């Protein structure tokens, strides 16, 4: 692999980084209130919000982990993403207007209105844990890739990119993040299409030969198709993907914040659908790149010792022309910057709305804005520190690690959300009991299924013999949601039936829609 880049490639990368900072500078003067800083209320068109949703969900994980997974195995880990449109097409219509009506900024305001403070803090803490684990992974992947491609120091790469991300958020807020996302979305599509085009023209025999080689070596399809929950199978990924879709688009602050940014309910729904329908093709493109890389290196030499996540960077450096390499690397950096910028902004929103305002209520908005920026800095520095710890990560595929962490930190959040949305009988006491049971279950499952140590000397954190949790960790997240639903509903029966504001329920949205039809106007959304 080339150890250095051409001057032109460096020039392109520097230009993109400077352009990234310019987004923050351009919108800096507008960030005078927390509403502008977190929501850019009414200032961004719905198509841009849709592109922002795409960029928020696409990061170094997509750019590197998906090709790495496609290279080393079949497409089974793509199933989680494919479930998103299947589930969301059925629920996005009422989730968006519900949130825009009942919350101000934090997604977890809804949990408090429905089930009290404990539910709010539990769900927001789970979000924070997921965000930091995910942000560390994004930083780590980017640093590893750039280190292998340029020979740069990984710590220096993490610090430079982290510093840029913090500055963009401090200066420009959500408006800068969204327009940066739009730019990154186009960069992402261009990078993927260029790489697929080069690979297709580099493999002799065309699509027929590609399919033959890939299928012969088990790089196609979604096997195994068995009903086995102890390992990653198609059934496991379908079930996990369905809950992931509800959690990401129904309870995740980074996504829900985009709903609140749009001018109208209709615009928010349109943006959500656009983001969903664009994200899945991008995942497919980068998984396909991994499959094509596998076929390509059946007839070309690949140096020993390169891990699956390193194959795509190696291909970029050795097979793409000068200038194009700089463009691809810029797309990779931009993907990480955009995803992490959205994460930081959302973490600050939750930090201020769920914690700072609770500790210091009824203060001037200027104080809350200042606190928001301090939280951005603190969160950015902490995520950089986590990324440095990830440098010593194990040999497990990064995409698998990400999915596992997400499953562990999901903590029954979807269960709380679904009870709140569909059950008139579920109450605060019952859900609090369910959360406690869920915490105990998650701790048991994690401790009895996680091994630590080196080589053959790995041992379980807690060995209960035949009572160990033996199912795949992706199912841990699913079970935690089911535990909350089951325990929460049954426990609620032992306490008085709550008085619930029906605007917090699906039935309330449905009744409102029916009333609108009877009144002579059937609009999916109206201006707020």
Crossing angle of the two packed helices 234-251 and 398-410, in degrees rounded to 10: 60
Task: Check if the beta carbon of residue 213 is closer than 8 Å to that of residue 71.
Answer: no
Q: Is the confidence at residue 290, as pLDDT, over 80? A: yes
Distance CA(48)–CA(383), nearest Å, equals 27
Structure tokens at 467: 């009572």
- Torsion angle in degrees (nearest 10) through CA of 65, 9, 281, 232: -10
Mean pLDDT of all residues in 346-371:
92
Q: Which residues contact 107 (CB under 8 A, 6 or more apart)?
A: 99, 123, 127, 251, 252, 253, 256, 257, 350
Provide long-range contacts, Cβ within 8 A and 24+ apart, for 372-379: 372/34, 372/37, 372/38, 372/348, 373/170, 373/348, 375/347, 375/348, 375/351, 376/166, 376/169, 376/170, 376/344, 376/345, 376/347, 376/348, 377/166, 377/170, 379/132, 379/344, 379/347, 379/348, 379/351
Mean pLDDT of all residues in 439-443:
89
- 459 forms bridges with which residues in the sheet? 452
When the pLDDT of each residue in the chain is averaged and rounded to a whole number, the result is 85
Mean pLDDT of all residues in 460-471:
91
User: Residue 421 has what pLDDT?
Assistant: 95
Which percentage of the chain shows pLDDT scores above 70?
92
Distance CA(308)–CA(295), nearest Å, equals 13
The domains found in the chain, sorted by start residue, are 7-393 (1.20.1730.10)
Angle at 83 between CA 81 and CA 85, to 5 degrees: 95
Phi then psi dihedrals of residue 406, to 5 deg: -65, -40
Structure tokens at 416: 């709380």
Q: Is the confidence at residue 2, as pLDDT, over 70? A: no
- 527 forms bridges with which residues in the sheet? 264
- pTM, entire model: 0.87
Distance CA(528)–CA(511), nearest Å, equals 18
Mean pLDDT of all residues in 90-118:
92
Burial code of 48-69, b = ≥16 C-beta within 10 A, e = fewer? Answer: bbbbbbbbbbbbbbbbbbbbbb
Task: Check if the beta carbon of residue 415 is closer than 8 Å to that of residue 482.
Answer: yes
Q: 3-state DSSP call for residue 320?
A: coil
Task: Check if the beta carbon of residue 401 is closer than 8 Å to that of residue 69.
Answer: no
Mean pLDDT of all residues in 348-361:
93
Distance CA(72)–CA(119), nearest Å, equals 40
Q: 3-state DSSP call for residue 264?
A: strand
User: Residue 437 has what pLDDT?
Assistant: 95
Task: Check if the beta carbon of residue 270 is closer than 8 Å to that of residue 46.
Answer: yes
Mean pLDDT of all residues in 489-512:
92
Phi then psi dihedrals of residue 459, to 5 deg: -135, 155
**CA dihedral sign, ordered 497, 503, 504, 506:** positive
pLDDT in tens, 158-183: 888 888 888 887 777 888 888 888 88
pLDDT in tens, 185-230: 788 788 888 999 999 999 988 889 999 999 999 999 999 999 999 9
Burial code of 331-365, b = ≥16 C-beta within 10 A, e = fewer? Answer: bbbbbbbbbbbbbbbbbbbbbbbbbbbeeeeeeee
Which percentage of the chain shows pLDDT scores above 90?
38
Report DSSP letters for 495-515, one per residue: SPPP---GGGSHHHHHHHHHH
Crossing angle of the two packed helices 117-150 and 428-447, in degrees rounded to 10: 40
367 — pLDDT class (breaks 50, 70, 90):
very high
């Amino acid at each position: 692999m080339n150890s250095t880049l051409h001057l032109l490639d460096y020039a392109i990368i520097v230009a993109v980084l400077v352009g990234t900072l310019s987004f923050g500078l351009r919108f800096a003067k507008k960030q005078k209130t927390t509403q502008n800083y977190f929501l850019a209320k009414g200032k961004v068109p719905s198509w841009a919000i849709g592109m922002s949703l795409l960029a928020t969900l696409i990061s170094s994980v997509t750019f590197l982990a998906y090709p790495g997974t496609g290279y080393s195995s079949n497409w089974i880990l793509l199933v989680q993403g494919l479930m998103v449109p299947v589930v969301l097409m059925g629920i996005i219509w009422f989730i968006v207007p519900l949130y825009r009506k009942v919350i101000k900024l934090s997604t977890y305001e809804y949990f408090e209105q429905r089930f009290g403070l404990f539910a709010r803090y539990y769900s927001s803490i789970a979000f924070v844990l997921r965000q930091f684990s995910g942000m560390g992974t994004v930083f780590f992947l980017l640093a590893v890739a750039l280190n292998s491609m340029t020979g740069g120091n990984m710590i220096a790469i993490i610090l430079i990119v982290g510093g840029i991300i913090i500055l963009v958020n401090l200066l420009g807020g959500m408006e800068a993040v969204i327009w940066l996302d739009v730019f990154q979305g186009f960069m992402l599509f261009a990078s993927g299409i260029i790489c697929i085009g080069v690979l297709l023209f580099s493999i002799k025999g065309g699509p027929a030969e590609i399919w033959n080689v890939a299928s012969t070596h088990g790089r196609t399809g979604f096997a195994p198709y068995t009903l086995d929950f102890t390992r990653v199978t198609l059934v496991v990924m379908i079930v996990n993907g369905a809950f992931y879709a509800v959690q990401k688009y129904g309870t995740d602050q980074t996504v829900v914040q985009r709903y609140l940014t749009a001018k109208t309910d209709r615009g928010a729904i349109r943006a959500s659908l656009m983001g969903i329908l664009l994200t899945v093709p991008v995942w497919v493109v980068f998984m396909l790149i991994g499959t094509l890389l596998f076929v390509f290196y059946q007839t070309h030499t690949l140096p020993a010792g390169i891990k699956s996540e390193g194959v795509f960077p190696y291909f970029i450096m050795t097979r793409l022309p000068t200038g194009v390499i700089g463009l691809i690397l810029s797309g990779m950096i931009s993907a990480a910057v955009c995803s992490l910028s959205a994460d930081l902004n959302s973490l600050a929103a939750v930090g201020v709305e769920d914690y700072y305002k609770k500790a210091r209520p009824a203060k001037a908005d200027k104080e809350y804005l200042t606190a928001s920026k301090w939280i951005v800095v603190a969160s950015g520095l902490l995520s950089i520190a986590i990324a440095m710890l990830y440098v010593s990560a194990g040999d497990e595929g990064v995409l698998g690690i990400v999915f596992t962490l997400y499953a562990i930190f999901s903590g029954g959040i979807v269960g709380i959300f679904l009870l709140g949305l569909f059950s008139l009988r579920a109450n605060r006491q019952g859900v609090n009991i369910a959360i406690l049971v869920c915490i105990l279950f998650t701790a048991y499952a994690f401790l009895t299924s996680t091994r630590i140590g080196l080589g053959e000397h790995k041992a379980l954190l807690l060995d209960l013999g035949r009572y160990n949790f033996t199912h795949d960790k992706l199912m841990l997240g699913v079970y935690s949601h089911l535990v909350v639903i089951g325990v929460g509903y049954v426990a609620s029966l032992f306490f008085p039936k709550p008085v619930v504001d029906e605007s917090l329920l699906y039935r309330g949205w449905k009744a409102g829609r029916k009333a609108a039809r009877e009144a002579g106007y059937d609009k999916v959304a109206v201006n707020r």
